[in-house]
Protein backbone atom coordinates (compact mmCIF):
# COMPACT_ATOMS: atom_id res chain seq x y z
CA UNK A 1 0.00 0.00 0.00
CA UNK A 2 0.93 3.61 -0.37
CA UNK A 3 1.22 4.05 3.38
CA UNK A 4 3.66 1.17 3.81
CA UNK A 5 5.75 2.33 0.86
CA UNK A 6 5.86 5.81 2.32
CA UNK A 7 7.01 4.54 5.70
CA UNK A 8 9.71 2.32 4.23
CA UNK A 9 10.92 5.07 1.96
CA UNK A 10 10.98 7.55 4.81
CA UNK A 11 12.91 5.13 7.00
CA UNK A 12 15.40 4.52 4.22
CA UNK A 13 15.87 8.23 3.64
CA UNK A 14 16.37 8.85 7.33
CA UNK A 15 18.81 5.96 7.55
CA UNK A 16 20.82 7.44 4.70
CA UNK A 17 20.57 10.96 6.03
CA UNK A 18 21.68 9.85 9.46
CA UNK A 19 18.37 10.55 11.16
CA UNK A 20 16.81 8.33 13.79
CA UNK A 21 13.62 6.37 13.55
CA UNK A 22 12.70 3.31 15.55
CA UNK A 23 12.21 1.04 12.59
CA UNK A 24 12.45 -2.23 14.48
CA UNK A 25 9.62 -1.20 16.80
CA UNK A 26 7.60 0.56 14.12
CA UNK A 27 4.54 -0.84 12.38
CA UNK A 28 6.72 -1.54 9.36
CA UNK A 29 6.52 -5.28 9.13
CA UNK A 30 8.35 -7.59 6.79
CA UNK A 31 11.78 -6.01 7.32
CA UNK A 32 13.12 -8.93 9.36
CA UNK A 33 16.64 -7.63 9.84
CA UNK A 34 19.12 -10.44 10.46
CA UNK A 35 22.87 -10.41 11.21
CA UNK A 36 25.31 -10.58 8.32
CA UNK A 37 27.44 -13.72 8.15
CA UNK A 38 30.96 -13.69 9.60
CA UNK A 39 32.51 -15.97 6.99
CA UNK A 40 32.72 -15.58 3.20
CA UNK A 41 32.79 -19.36 2.75
CA UNK A 42 36.38 -20.26 1.88
CA UNK A 43 37.10 -23.62 3.56
CA UNK A 44 40.82 -22.74 3.91
CA UNK A 45 40.06 -19.66 6.04
CA UNK A 46 37.10 -20.37 8.32
CA UNK A 47 36.66 -16.88 9.79
CA UNK A 48 37.59 -14.76 6.80
CA UNK A 49 35.29 -12.38 4.98
CA UNK A 50 31.63 -11.64 5.51
CA UNK A 51 28.26 -12.05 3.87
CA UNK A 52 25.18 -9.85 3.74
CA UNK A 53 26.74 -6.98 1.83
CA UNK A 54 28.73 -6.11 -1.25
CA UNK A 55 31.64 -3.69 -0.70
CA UNK A 56 31.70 -0.83 -3.21
CA UNK A 57 34.53 1.48 -2.15
CA UNK A 58 37.24 1.81 0.49
CA UNK A 59 38.89 5.13 1.27
CA UNK A 60 41.86 4.49 3.56
CA UNK A 61 43.27 7.50 5.36
CA UNK A 62 46.47 6.31 7.05
CA UNK A 63 48.95 8.21 9.21
CA UNK A 64 52.09 6.15 9.79
CA UNK A 65 55.20 6.79 11.85
CA UNK A 66 58.07 4.31 11.98
CA UNK A 67 59.11 3.66 15.60
CA UNK A 68 62.09 1.34 15.21
CA UNK A 69 63.42 -1.11 12.61
CA UNK A 70 60.44 -3.44 12.95
CA UNK A 71 57.53 -1.46 14.33
CA UNK A 72 55.55 1.69 13.87
CA UNK A 73 52.30 3.39 14.76
CA UNK A 74 49.28 3.58 12.53
CA UNK A 75 46.50 6.08 13.11
CA UNK A 76 43.78 5.55 10.55
CA UNK A 77 40.26 6.21 9.37
CA UNK A 78 38.61 3.90 6.90
CA UNK A 79 35.53 5.04 5.04
CA UNK A 80 33.90 2.25 3.11
CA UNK A 81 30.64 2.00 1.29
CA UNK A 82 28.69 -1.16 0.74
CA UNK A 83 25.32 -2.26 -0.52
CA UNK A 84 23.38 -4.50 1.82
CA UNK A 85 22.34 -7.69 0.01
CA UNK A 86 19.65 -8.36 2.64
CA UNK A 87 18.19 -6.32 5.48
CA UNK A 88 20.92 -6.33 8.13
CA UNK A 89 20.71 -5.94 11.89
CA UNK A 90 24.52 -6.17 12.10
CA UNK A 91 27.48 -6.84 9.83
CA UNK A 92 31.14 -7.62 10.21
CA UNK A 93 34.59 -6.70 8.93
CA UNK A 94 37.95 -8.43 9.42
CA UNK A 95 40.56 -6.47 11.39
CA UNK A 96 43.43 -8.00 13.37
CA UNK A 97 45.98 -6.54 15.74
CA UNK A 98 44.71 -2.95 15.76
CA UNK A 99 42.22 -1.21 18.05
CA UNK A 100 38.97 0.38 16.98
CA UNK A 101 37.99 3.61 18.70
CA UNK A 102 34.75 4.40 16.89
CA UNK A 103 32.42 3.17 14.19
CA UNK A 104 29.82 5.25 12.39
CA UNK A 105 27.19 3.92 10.04
CA UNK A 106 25.54 6.49 7.78
CA UNK A 107 26.94 9.12 10.12
CA UNK A 108 25.44 7.64 13.28
CA UNK A 109 27.61 6.21 16.01
CA UNK A 110 27.23 2.43 16.02
CA UNK A 111 28.00 -0.11 18.69
CA UNK A 112 30.59 -2.79 17.99
CA UNK A 113 32.48 -5.73 19.39
CA UNK A 114 35.98 -6.62 18.27
CA UNK A 115 37.13 -10.11 19.23
CA UNK A 116 39.54 -12.49 17.45
CA UNK A 117 39.82 -10.34 14.36
CA UNK A 118 36.07 -9.97 13.84
CA UNK A 119 34.70 -6.46 14.08
CA UNK A 120 30.94 -6.88 14.47
CA UNK A 121 29.03 -3.65 14.01
CA UNK A 122 25.46 -3.08 15.13
CA UNK A 123 23.99 0.07 13.61
CA UNK A 124 21.20 1.96 15.33
CA UNK A 125 18.91 1.28 12.42
CA UNK A 126 18.55 -1.84 10.33
CA UNK A 127 20.28 -1.52 6.98
CA UNK A 128 17.74 -2.04 4.27
CA UNK A 129 18.41 -4.56 1.53
CA UNK A 130 19.88 -3.06 -1.63
CA UNK A 131 20.58 0.35 -0.14
CA UNK A 132 24.09 1.82 0.02
CA UNK A 133 25.69 2.26 3.44
CA UNK A 134 28.63 4.39 4.57
CA UNK A 135 30.82 2.93 7.33
CA UNK A 136 33.52 5.00 9.00
CA UNK A 137 35.95 3.21 11.30
CA UNK A 138 38.55 5.04 13.36
CA UNK A 139 41.31 2.67 14.40
CA UNK A 140 45.02 2.30 14.94
CA UNK A 141 47.79 0.95 17.09
CA UNK A 142 51.25 -0.49 16.89
CA UNK A 143 52.28 -2.36 13.77
CA UNK A 144 54.97 -4.99 13.73
CA UNK A 145 55.70 -7.94 11.52
CA UNK A 146 52.66 -10.19 11.07
CA UNK A 147 53.13 -13.74 9.77
CA UNK A 148 50.83 -15.90 7.67
CA UNK A 149 49.75 -19.50 8.26
CA UNK A 150 53.04 -20.67 6.67
CA UNK A 151 55.10 -18.30 8.81
CA UNK A 152 55.98 -15.87 5.98
CA UNK A 153 55.91 -12.18 6.80
CA UNK A 154 52.90 -10.48 5.25
CA UNK A 155 50.33 -7.75 5.78
CA UNK A 156 51.56 -4.41 7.06
CA UNK A 157 55.25 -5.29 7.57
CA UNK A 158 57.12 -2.51 9.33
CA UNK A 159 60.60 -1.90 7.97
CA UNK A 160 63.52 0.25 9.09
CA UNK A 161 62.38 3.12 6.86
CA UNK A 162 58.64 2.53 6.52
CA UNK A 163 56.53 -0.49 5.61
CA UNK A 164 56.24 -3.16 2.91
CA UNK A 165 52.60 -4.03 2.45
CA UNK A 166 51.84 -7.41 0.85
CA UNK A 167 48.65 -9.19 1.85
CA UNK A 168 48.34 -12.51 0.08
CA UNK A 169 46.39 -14.47 1.14
CA UNK A 170 44.74 -12.97 4.25
CA UNK A 171 46.97 -10.10 5.37
CA UNK A 172 44.76 -7.11 4.47
CA UNK A 173 43.01 -7.17 7.89
CA UNK A 174 46.39 -6.41 9.53
CA UNK A 175 45.96 -2.79 8.34
CA UNK A 176 42.33 -2.04 7.49
CA UNK A 177 38.81 -3.28 8.28
CA UNK A 178 37.76 -5.28 5.26
CA UNK A 179 35.55 -7.95 3.79
CA UNK A 180 38.66 -10.01 3.04
CA UNK A 181 37.21 -12.05 0.19
CA UNK A 182 38.55 -11.89 -3.40
CA UNK A 183 34.95 -12.24 -4.62
CA UNK A 184 34.09 -8.87 -3.11
CA UNK A 185 36.26 -6.51 -5.14
CA UNK A 186 35.95 -2.77 -4.63
CA UNK A 187 37.39 0.57 -5.77
CA UNK A 188 40.12 1.98 -3.52
CA UNK A 189 41.49 5.41 -2.74
CA UNK A 190 44.39 6.01 -0.36
CA UNK A 191 45.50 9.05 1.60
CA UNK A 192 48.78 8.25 3.31
CA UNK A 193 50.54 10.65 5.65
CA UNK A 194 54.16 9.97 6.58
CA UNK A 195 57.03 11.88 8.19
CA UNK A 196 58.43 14.49 5.81
CA UNK A 197 61.11 12.94 3.60
CA UNK A 198 59.36 9.54 3.36
CA UNK A 199 57.37 8.50 0.31
CA UNK A 200 54.17 6.42 0.21
CA UNK A 201 53.22 4.39 -2.86
CA UNK A 202 49.96 2.54 -3.35
CA UNK A 203 48.12 0.93 -6.25
CA UNK A 204 47.12 2.84 -9.33
CA UNK A 205 47.65 6.52 -10.04
CA UNK A 206 48.76 9.42 -7.86
CA UNK A 207 46.17 12.12 -7.25
CA UNK A 208 47.76 15.58 -7.34
CA UNK A 209 51.09 16.42 -5.78
CA UNK A 210 52.18 15.34 -2.29
CA UNK A 211 51.53 18.02 0.33
CA UNK A 212 53.77 18.79 3.28
CA UNK A 213 52.60 20.48 6.48
CA UNK A 214 54.01 20.46 10.01
CA UNK A 215 56.71 17.95 9.16
CA UNK A 216 54.35 15.45 7.54
CA UNK A 217 53.74 14.69 3.89
CA UNK A 218 50.49 13.33 2.48
CA UNK A 219 50.32 11.19 -0.66
CA UNK A 220 47.10 10.28 -2.44
CA UNK A 221 46.57 7.30 -4.74
CA UNK A 222 43.60 5.95 -6.66
CA UNK A 223 43.10 2.51 -8.24
CA UNK A 224 40.11 2.89 -10.57
CA UNK A 225 39.63 -0.81 -11.35
CA UNK A 226 37.88 -3.13 -8.90
CA UNK A 227 40.52 -4.77 -6.71
CA UNK A 228 40.65 -7.78 -4.39
CA UNK A 229 41.76 -6.80 -0.88
CA UNK A 230 44.80 -9.11 -0.98
CA UNK A 231 46.16 -7.03 -3.89
CA UNK A 232 46.17 -3.68 -2.09
CA UNK A 233 49.38 -2.00 -1.02
CA UNK A 234 50.37 1.25 0.69
CA UNK A 235 54.11 0.89 1.01
CA UNK A 236 56.30 3.49 2.67
CA UNK A 237 60.02 4.08 2.38
CA UNK A 238 62.84 6.23 1.13
CA UNK A 239 61.69 5.74 -2.42
CA UNK A 240 63.04 7.25 -5.63
CA UNK A 241 60.17 7.40 -8.09
CA UNK A 242 60.44 7.35 -11.87
CA UNK A 243 57.53 7.57 -14.28
CA UNK A 244 57.72 6.43 -17.90
CA UNK A 245 55.06 5.50 -20.42
CA UNK A 246 54.50 2.61 -22.79
CA UNK A 247 54.01 3.39 -26.47
CA UNK A 248 50.27 3.22 -25.79
CA UNK A 249 50.60 5.86 -23.09
CA UNK A 250 50.16 3.59 -20.07
CA UNK A 251 52.03 5.15 -17.12
CA UNK A 252 54.69 2.92 -15.53
CA UNK A 253 55.47 4.23 -12.06
CA UNK A 254 58.45 2.61 -10.35
CA UNK A 255 59.59 3.19 -6.77
CA UNK A 256 62.98 1.90 -5.64
CA UNK A 257 63.97 2.23 -2.02
CA UNK A 258 67.35 3.82 -1.38
CA UNK A 259 68.16 0.96 1.01
CA UNK A 260 68.29 -1.58 -1.86
CA UNK A 261 71.96 -2.47 -2.44
CA UNK A 262 73.68 -0.89 -5.46
CA UNK A 263 74.01 -4.25 -7.24
CA UNK A 264 70.37 -5.15 -6.65
CA UNK A 265 69.27 -1.72 -7.74
CA UNK A 266 71.19 -2.07 -11.02
CA UNK A 267 69.68 -5.52 -11.64
CA UNK A 268 66.19 -4.27 -10.76
CA UNK A 269 66.44 -1.21 -12.99
CA UNK A 270 67.50 -3.38 -15.93
CA UNK A 271 64.47 -5.70 -15.43
CA UNK A 272 62.05 -2.85 -14.84
CA UNK A 273 63.22 -1.19 -18.07
CA UNK A 274 61.67 -4.20 -19.85
CA UNK A 275 58.20 -3.77 -18.33
CA UNK A 276 56.83 -1.92 -21.38
CA UNK A 277 58.04 -4.71 -23.69
CA UNK A 278 56.60 -7.35 -21.39
CA UNK A 279 53.24 -5.59 -21.31
CA UNK A 280 53.26 -5.38 -25.12
CA UNK A 281 54.21 -9.06 -25.48
CA UNK A 282 51.65 -10.30 -22.95
CA UNK A 283 48.95 -8.03 -24.41
CA UNK A 284 49.40 -9.81 -27.73
CA UNK A 285 48.85 -13.19 -26.10
CA UNK A 286 46.49 -12.44 -23.20
CA UNK A 287 44.50 -9.45 -24.51
CA UNK A 288 44.68 -5.77 -23.53
CA UNK A 289 46.49 -4.88 -20.29
CA UNK A 290 43.63 -4.78 -17.76
CA UNK A 291 44.57 -1.72 -15.66
CA UNK A 292 45.32 1.99 -16.07
CA UNK A 293 48.85 2.01 -14.69
CA UNK A 294 51.76 -0.33 -14.09
CA UNK A 295 55.09 -0.36 -12.27
CA UNK A 296 56.99 -1.67 -9.32
CA UNK A 297 57.88 -1.07 -5.70
CA UNK A 298 61.33 -2.44 -4.88
CA UNK A 299 62.24 -2.53 -1.20
CA UNK A 300 64.83 -4.27 0.99
CA UNK A 301 65.02 -8.00 1.78
CA UNK A 302 62.56 -7.92 4.71
CA UNK A 303 59.70 -10.03 3.32
CA UNK A 304 61.85 -12.01 0.89
CA UNK A 305 59.34 -12.52 -1.92
CA UNK A 306 57.45 -10.55 -4.54
CA UNK A 307 53.71 -9.98 -4.78
CA UNK A 308 51.61 -8.92 -7.76
CA UNK A 309 49.85 -6.05 -5.93
CA UNK A 310 47.38 -4.63 -8.44
CA UNK A 311 48.95 -2.54 -11.20
CA UNK A 312 52.20 -2.17 -9.19
CA UNK A 313 53.94 -5.28 -7.82
CA UNK A 314 56.09 -5.25 -4.69
CA UNK A 315 59.57 -6.81 -4.88
CA UNK A 316 61.73 -7.58 -1.88
CA UNK A 317 65.54 -7.26 -2.25
CA UNK A 318 65.65 -7.38 -6.06
CA UNK A 319 63.34 -7.45 -9.09
CA UNK A 320 64.83 -10.11 -11.37
CA UNK A 321 63.66 -10.28 -14.97
CA UNK A 322 61.88 -13.61 -14.54
CA UNK A 323 60.06 -12.36 -11.46
CA UNK A 324 59.03 -9.11 -13.16
CA UNK A 325 57.59 -11.13 -16.07
CA UNK A 326 55.79 -13.35 -13.54
CA UNK A 327 54.27 -10.43 -11.58
CA UNK A 328 53.22 -8.57 -14.72
CA UNK A 329 51.53 -11.71 -16.06
CA UNK A 330 49.58 -11.86 -12.77
CA UNK A 331 47.84 -8.62 -13.73
CA UNK A 332 45.84 -10.78 -16.18
CA UNK A 333 45.95 -14.06 -14.28
CA UNK A 334 45.20 -13.36 -10.64
CA UNK A 335 44.29 -9.68 -10.63
CA UNK A 336 41.64 -9.02 -13.26
CA UNK A 337 40.45 -12.61 -12.80
CA UNK A 338 41.13 -13.69 -9.22
CA UNK A 339 40.71 -17.06 -7.49
CA UNK A 340 37.13 -17.80 -6.44
CA UNK A 341 38.48 -19.88 -3.56
CA UNK A 342 42.07 -20.03 -2.33
CA UNK A 343 42.16 -23.66 -3.53
CA UNK A 344 42.13 -22.16 -7.05
CA UNK A 345 45.53 -20.47 -6.51
CA UNK A 346 47.14 -22.59 -9.25
CA UNK A 347 45.18 -20.52 -11.77
CA UNK A 348 47.29 -17.57 -10.56
CA UNK A 349 50.65 -19.21 -10.07
CA UNK A 350 50.53 -21.78 -12.88
CA UNK A 351 49.62 -19.10 -15.43
CA UNK A 352 52.18 -16.56 -14.14
CA UNK A 353 54.91 -19.24 -14.21
CA UNK A 354 53.87 -20.33 -17.69
CA UNK A 355 53.85 -16.69 -18.87
CA UNK A 356 57.38 -16.14 -17.55
CA UNK A 357 58.44 -19.24 -19.52
CA UNK A 358 56.88 -17.64 -22.61
CA UNK A 359 58.79 -14.42 -21.97
CA UNK A 360 62.02 -16.42 -21.53
CA UNK A 361 61.50 -18.19 -24.85
CA UNK A 362 60.57 -14.92 -26.57
CA UNK A 363 63.81 -13.29 -25.41
CA UNK A 364 66.04 -16.12 -26.56
CA UNK A 365 66.21 -18.20 -23.37
CA UNK A 366 65.02 -21.74 -22.77
CA UNK A 367 61.92 -22.78 -24.66
CA UNK A 368 58.60 -23.42 -22.93
CA UNK A 369 58.93 -27.00 -24.13
CA UNK A 370 62.32 -27.37 -22.40
CA UNK A 371 61.06 -25.81 -19.16
CA UNK A 372 58.02 -28.09 -19.19
CA UNK A 373 60.17 -31.14 -19.92
CA UNK A 374 62.46 -30.27 -17.00
CA UNK A 375 59.50 -30.20 -14.61
CA UNK A 376 58.12 -33.44 -16.03
CA UNK A 377 61.53 -35.06 -15.49
CA UNK A 378 61.02 -34.87 -11.71
CA UNK A 379 61.00 -38.54 -10.59
CA UNK A 380 57.56 -40.00 -9.85
CA UNK A 381 58.77 -40.85 -6.34
CA UNK A 382 59.43 -37.17 -5.51
CA UNK A 383 57.11 -35.54 -2.94
CA UNK A 384 56.73 -32.80 -5.57
CA UNK A 385 53.97 -34.85 -7.23
CA UNK A 386 52.00 -35.32 -4.01
CA UNK A 387 50.62 -31.75 -4.08
CA UNK A 388 47.06 -31.73 -5.39
CA UNK A 389 47.44 -28.60 -7.47
CA UNK A 390 43.76 -27.59 -7.43
CA UNK A 391 43.44 -28.24 -3.68
CA UNK A 392 46.87 -27.71 -2.11
CA UNK A 393 45.57 -26.88 1.39
CA UNK A 394 45.90 -23.59 3.24
CA UNK A 395 49.55 -24.34 4.06
CA UNK A 396 50.33 -25.45 0.50
CA UNK A 397 49.17 -22.35 -1.41
CA UNK A 398 52.72 -21.51 -2.46
CA UNK A 399 54.08 -25.05 -2.82
CA UNK A 400 56.43 -25.32 -5.81
CA UNK A 401 54.05 -27.71 -7.59
CA UNK A 402 51.32 -25.04 -7.56
CA UNK A 403 53.69 -22.98 -9.70
CA UNK A 404 55.56 -25.44 -11.88
CA UNK A 405 53.13 -28.36 -12.10
CA UNK A 406 50.48 -25.68 -12.70
CA UNK A 407 52.53 -24.29 -15.60
CA UNK A 408 53.27 -27.80 -16.92
CA UNK A 409 49.52 -28.49 -16.83
CA UNK A 410 48.96 -25.51 -19.13
CA UNK A 411 51.67 -26.73 -21.48
CA UNK A 412 50.08 -30.18 -21.56
CA UNK A 413 46.67 -28.60 -22.11
CA UNK A 414 48.06 -26.88 -25.19
CA UNK A 415 49.14 -30.30 -26.54
CA UNK A 416 45.70 -31.67 -25.68
CA UNK A 417 43.51 -29.00 -27.31
CA UNK A 418 45.93 -27.64 -29.92
CA UNK A 419 47.64 -24.28 -30.33
CA UNK A 420 44.71 -22.32 -31.71
CA UNK A 421 42.22 -23.28 -29.03
CA UNK A 422 44.86 -22.78 -26.37
CA UNK A 423 45.64 -19.29 -27.70
CA UNK A 424 41.92 -18.49 -27.62
CA UNK A 425 41.67 -19.80 -24.05
CA UNK A 426 44.57 -17.60 -22.86
CA UNK A 427 42.63 -14.52 -23.99
CA UNK A 428 39.14 -15.68 -23.07
CA UNK A 429 39.84 -16.40 -19.37
CA UNK A 430 40.83 -12.83 -18.33
CA UNK A 431 38.33 -11.29 -20.75
CA UNK A 432 35.24 -13.24 -19.69
CA UNK A 433 36.00 -12.85 -15.99
CA UNK A 434 37.32 -9.32 -16.03
CA UNK A 435 37.09 -7.66 -12.58
CA UNK A 436 35.73 -10.90 -11.14
CA UNK A 437 36.85 -14.35 -10.00
CA UNK A 438 36.92 -17.83 -11.44
CA UNK A 439 37.27 -21.36 -10.07
CA UNK A 440 39.07 -24.40 -11.43
CA UNK A 441 35.76 -25.86 -12.58
CA UNK A 442 34.93 -22.58 -14.37
CA UNK A 443 38.28 -22.80 -16.13
CA UNK A 444 37.71 -26.41 -17.14
CA UNK A 445 34.26 -25.51 -18.46
CA UNK A 446 35.76 -22.72 -20.57
CA UNK A 447 38.51 -25.00 -21.94
CA UNK A 448 35.86 -27.58 -22.84
CA UNK A 449 33.64 -24.95 -24.48
CA UNK A 450 36.49 -23.58 -26.59
CA UNK A 451 37.91 -26.97 -27.57
CA UNK A 452 34.66 -28.91 -27.79
CA UNK A 453 36.48 -31.71 -25.95
CA UNK A 454 35.69 -33.53 -22.73
CA UNK A 455 38.67 -32.65 -20.53
CA UNK A 456 37.50 -34.35 -17.33
CA UNK A 457 40.12 -37.11 -17.34
CA UNK A 458 42.87 -34.68 -18.32
CA UNK A 459 42.22 -32.32 -15.40
CA UNK A 460 41.66 -35.20 -12.97
CA UNK A 461 45.16 -36.43 -13.71
CA UNK A 462 46.84 -33.04 -13.79
CA UNK A 463 45.25 -30.95 -11.03
CA UNK A 464 43.08 -33.21 -8.88
CA UNK A 465 45.47 -36.11 -8.29
CA UNK A 466 48.55 -36.20 -6.03
CA UNK A 467 50.64 -38.45 -8.26
CA UNK A 468 52.72 -37.95 -11.41
CA UNK A 469 50.49 -38.13 -14.49
CA UNK A 470 51.49 -40.56 -17.21
CA UNK A 471 52.55 -38.83 -20.46
CA UNK A 472 49.79 -37.38 -22.59
Query: What is the binding site for Zn ion (CB under 5 A)?
Result: 349, 352
Q: What is the smallest separation between the CB atom of 207 and ligand ARG, expressed in angstroms?
A: 27
**Residue 376 interacts with ligand ARG (CB under 6 A)?**
no
**Residue 435 interacts with ligand ARG (CB under 6 A)?**
no
Complex with Zn ion: residue 50 or 407, whichever CB lies closer = 407
Complex with Zn ion: residue 118 or 349, whichever CB lies closer = 349
Complex with Zn ion: residue 349 or 442, whichever CB lies closer = 349
Partner interacting with residue 465 (select from Zn ion, ligand ARG, none; CB below 5-8 Å by kind): none
Q: What is the smallest separation between the CB atom of 314 and Zn ion, expressed in angstroms?
A: 12
Binding segment toward ligand ARG, per CB under 6 A, in 65-73, 202-210, 303-311, 376-384: 303-311
Contact 127, 105 (CB under 8 A): yes
Tell me which residue of 194, 202, 245, 193 sits closest to 224, measured CA to CA: 202
**Residue 398 interacts with ligand ARG (CB under 6 A)?**
yes
Q: What is the smallest separation between the CB atom of 128 and ligand ARG, expressed in angstroms?
A: 39
Complex with Zn ion: residue 107 or 304, whichever CB lies closer = 304
Cis ω for the linkage preceding 393 (within 30 of 0): no
Number of shown-chain residues binding ligand ARG (CB under 6 A): 12
Q: What is the smallest separation between the CB atom of 44 and ligand ARG, expressed in angstroms?
A: 13
**Residue 349 interacts with ligand ARG (CB under 6 A)?**
yes
Torsion of CA 129, 133, 138, 141, to 10 degrees: 50
Q: What is the smallest separation between the CB atom of 313 and ligand ARG, expressed in angstroms?
A: 8
Q: For the beta carbon of residue 63, count every other beta carbon within 10 angstroms.
A: 17
Closest residue to ligand ARG using C-beta atoms: 152
If you write DSSP's letter for every residue of 52-109 in order, what string do you get? SEEEEEEEEEEEEEEEETTEEEEEEEEEEEEEESS-EEEEEEE--SSEEEEEEETTEE
**Residue 181 interacts with ligand ARG (CB under 6 A)?**
no
Binding segment toward ligand ARG, per CB under 6 A, in 21-29, 114-122, 300-308, 381-389: 300-308
**Residue 170 interacts with ligand ARG (CB under 6 A)?**
no
Contact 176, 95 (CB under 8 A): yes
Q: Give the up-direction half-sphere exposure of residue 466: CA atoms within 13 A in the CB hemisphere.
A: 9
**Binding string, 119-158, against ligand ARG, x = CB under 6 A?**
-----------------------------x---x-x----
Coil, strand or helix: which one is 221?
A: strand
CA distance readout (Å), 412 to 145, 304, 401, 419, 472: 40, 31, 15, 11, 7
Q: Give the up-direction half-sphere exposure of residue 18: CA atoms within 13 A in the CB hemisphere.
A: 10
Determine the Cα–Cα distance for residues 287 and 281; give it in Å rounded to an integer: 10
Residues that bind ligand ARG (CB under 6 A): 148, 152, 154, 168, 305-308, 326-327, 349, 398
Amino acid sequence: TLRRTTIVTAAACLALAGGTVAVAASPVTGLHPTPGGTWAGDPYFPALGATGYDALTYHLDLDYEPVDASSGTLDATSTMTFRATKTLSSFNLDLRGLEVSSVRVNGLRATFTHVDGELIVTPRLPLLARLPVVVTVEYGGTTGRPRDIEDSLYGWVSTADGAMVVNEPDGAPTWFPVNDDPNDKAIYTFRITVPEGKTAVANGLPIGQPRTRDGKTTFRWFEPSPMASYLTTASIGDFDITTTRTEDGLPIIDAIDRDVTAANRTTSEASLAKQADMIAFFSEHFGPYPFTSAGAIVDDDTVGYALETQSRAVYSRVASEGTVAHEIAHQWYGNTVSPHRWADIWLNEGFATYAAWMWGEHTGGQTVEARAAAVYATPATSPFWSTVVADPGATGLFASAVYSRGALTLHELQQEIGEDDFAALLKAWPKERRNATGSTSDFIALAERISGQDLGAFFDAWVYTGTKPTTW
